[in-house]
Amino acid sequence: MSSVKSRSRNLIGVFMAVTFLQAGAEEPAAATSLYSVVDGYKVDSATMKGFRAWRAGACDRCHGANQEGMVGPSLINSLKVLSKEEFVKTVTEGRLEKGMVAFKTSKIVMDNMDNLYAYLKGRSDGAITRAKVEELKP
Partner 1 sequence: MRVTFCNLALPLVLAAAAGVTHANSDVERLTADPKNWAMQAGDMYNQRYSKLSQINAGNANKLQVAWTFSTGVLRGHEGSPLVVGDTMFLHAPFPNKIFAIDLNTNKIKWKYEPKQDPAVIPQMCCDTVNRGLAYAEGKVFLQQADSMLVAFDANSGKVLWSVKNGDPSVGAVNTNAPHVFKDKVITGISGGEWGVRGYVAAYNINSGDLVWKGYSTGPDDEMLIDPGTTTTWMDGRVQPVGADSSLKTWKGDLWKIGGGTTWGWYSYDKALNLMYYGTGNPSTWNPAQRPGDNKWSMSIWARDVDTGKVKWVYQMTPYDEWDFDGINEMILADIPVKGNMTKALVHFDRNGFGYTLDRTNGALLVAEKYDPTVNWATHVDMKTGRPQVVSKYSTAQNGPDVNTKGVCPAALGSKDQQPAAFSPKTKLFYVPTNHVCMDYEPFEVEYTAGQPYVGATLSMYPAIGPGKTGGMGNFIAWDAGTGKIVWSKPEKFSVWSGALATAGDVVFYGTLEGYLKAVDNQGKELWKFKTPSGIIGNVFTYEHKGKQYVGVFSGIGGWAGIGMAAGLEKDTDGLGAVGGYRELNQYTDLGGSLTVFALGN
Q: How far is the CB of 16 from partner 1 (least distance, A)?
A: 25
Complex with partner 1: residue 55 or 84, whichever CB lies closer: 55
First to last CA, the chain: 31
Residue 90: closest CA among 70, 65, 56, 63: 63
- For residue 2, how many C-alpha atoms fall within 13 Å in the half-sphere facing its CB? 0
Euclidean distance between CA atoms 123 and 16, whole angstroms: 17
Euclidean distance between CA atoms 100 and 80, whole angstroms: 19
Q: How far is the CB of 43 from partner 1 (least distance, A)?
A: 15
Complex with partner 1: residue 114 or 135, whichever CB lies closer: 135
Complex with partner 1: residue 23 or 26, whichever CB lies closer: 26
Q: How far is the CB of 100 from partner 1 (least distance, A)?
A: 6
Residue numbers at the binding site for partner 1 (CB under 8 A): 1, 52, 55-58, 60-62, 64-71, 73-74, 76-77, 94, 96-103, 105-108, 129-132
Q: How far is the CB of 56 from partner 1 (least distance, A)?
A: 5
Complex with partner 1: residue 19 or 115, whichever CB lies closer: 115
Per-state percent for the chain, helix, strand, coil, to nearest 5: 50, 10, 40
